[in-house]
Structure 1
Amino acid sequence: MGRQAMVAGNWKMNGLPQNNSELLKALAQKDFAQLSCALVVCPPTVFLSQVGNELPAEFKLGAQNVSAQAQGAHTGEVSADMLKSVGCEYGLVGHSERRQMHHESNSDVAEKTLALLQQGITPIVCVGETLSEREADATMTVVLQQLKAVARVLSTEQLAKIIVAYEPVWAIGTGMTATPEQAQQVHASIRGWLREQIGEQSDNITILYGGSVKGSNAAELFAQEDIDGGLIGGASLNADEFFQICQAAG
C-alpha cells in the first residue's frame, strides 16, 4: 500500500499553556520515533504557536478549523495563510461538532477544504452520519453527499491530496464505537467512490476512523484493510492512551 497510516489528535476546546506543556513533555518521553505512522496534533487556535514550538520532533501541527475567506472583515476568523504562518501542515474541516453546533453546510466545508489546499495545507475532511441516518440506512447517502460537495470545488489533483476522516456522529464522545466491520464497510465504500473520481490514486488516500477510539479498541479497528489510522478526540489528551493508539497504527 502506498498510503501512510496516520494518527491525529484533536484536542477540541481543551488546554491551557501549563497543561499543554505537561502533555507535550509526557509525549516527548514516549518512543514515537519507532513508529512509521504520521503523527498530528490539532490544538485550539490560540495555542498553535506554543504547541508548534514544544511539539516532539515526530509530530506535525494541525488546526481545528479555518475560514474559507482569505482576509478582510471577518471578525474572529482565522485564514489558511495565517495557519500556514504558524507552521500548520494539516487542518480539520467538517468535524461534526462544527457542522452541528456552527451550522456548517457541505458547501461551507468544501470551500474551507479548498482554502487549505491553496495554502499547501493538507485538509482532513470529516464525514459521518447521525444515529437516525444510520438507522434509516442512509449512511452512505449522507457520507457521499458530504464528499461530493468537496469534490465539486476541487480539481482531481486536489482531491487526491485530501485525507478523509469517517466519524459516525453517534460514536463521537459517546463511548459507542462502530464495530470494525461497520467502519470497514464505510471506509471501503468511500475508497470505492474515490476510485471512481481519481482512479488508482484513491489507493494512496489515507482514510481515518474517529469516534471513541481508545487504546483498547484501536488495534482491531486499524487492522481493517481500508482503515488507515484514527482521528482521536478525548484519548489524545492522555499521553499513555494516545501512545498506545499510535502503536496500534504502527
Structure 2
Amino acid sequence: MDKKKVIQLANAEIFQRENRILSGVNLEVDEGDFIYIIGKVGTGKTSLIKTINAELPLFSGTGKVLEYNLPGIKSREISELRRRLGVVFQDFRLLTDRDVYENLYFVLTATGWKNKLLIKERVNEVLEVVGMTHKMNKMPHELSGGEQQRVVIARAILNNPEIILADEPTGNLDPETSEEIFNLFIRLNNEGITILMATHDYAVIAKKPARTLVCANGKISDSENNTDELEFENLLESNI
C-alpha cells in the first residue's frame, strides 16, 4: 500500500524577497518519514522550512503540503495548514511574560480551543510527553536551554500535528541535552509524525542515519534519489 504524500515540491524556486536561494527543488515526503536537512549557513535550510510552512510564498513551480497548494495559498488556508504543522525553532520564541502553562494555554486558545477543562487536560498531556509537568509554573528564564526546547516541542505537538518542522532544534544545546531532545523527536516519529529536521549536529546524524537533504550551491541533493553514493557522502561531509 502506497504511503500518503504529505509534501510535494516540483521544479520549485525558493526565494527570500528578491533573492533566489534554491532552484529546481523536487521533493516528495511520505507520511511518517524522518528527514534531515543539512547545509552550511545561508544555503537554504531555513528558507525550505519557511516555504513548507507557507511563511515564504512559492512563486515558481508547484508545491503541495498536505492538501494545500502553496502557490497562491489564501490567508485562511495558511492558518488551517499551520494548525496541522508543528514548528520547532532554535531560538525558542516562548512568551517571556508567561509561565510554561500559560504559554501553552495561549496557543490552544489562539487556535480555537474554548473548553478550559479540555485545554488543561491537553496541556498536561503534552507536558508529560516531554517530561516537563513539574516545571509548568516556571517562567521561561527560569528554565535551562534544554528545558525551554522541551516546552517548544510540547507547544509544537499541542494540536496533534501531522508534520513537525524543526530548524536547528539542538543548535544551542550541549551534547547530552541534544541527544535527549533528539530522542524525543525519534519517539514522536515512531508515533507516526513526519519529521523534517534542519541540523548541523553530525553526532546526531551518525547515531540515527536517515534520508538526508543537502542544501548546497543553490540546489538540493537527496540521499534517496542519489545514484552516486560516494559523491553524496563527500557532499554530506563537506556541508556539516
TM-score for the superposition, normalised by structure 2: 0.41
Structure with larger Rg: 2
Structure number with the higher helix fraction is: 1
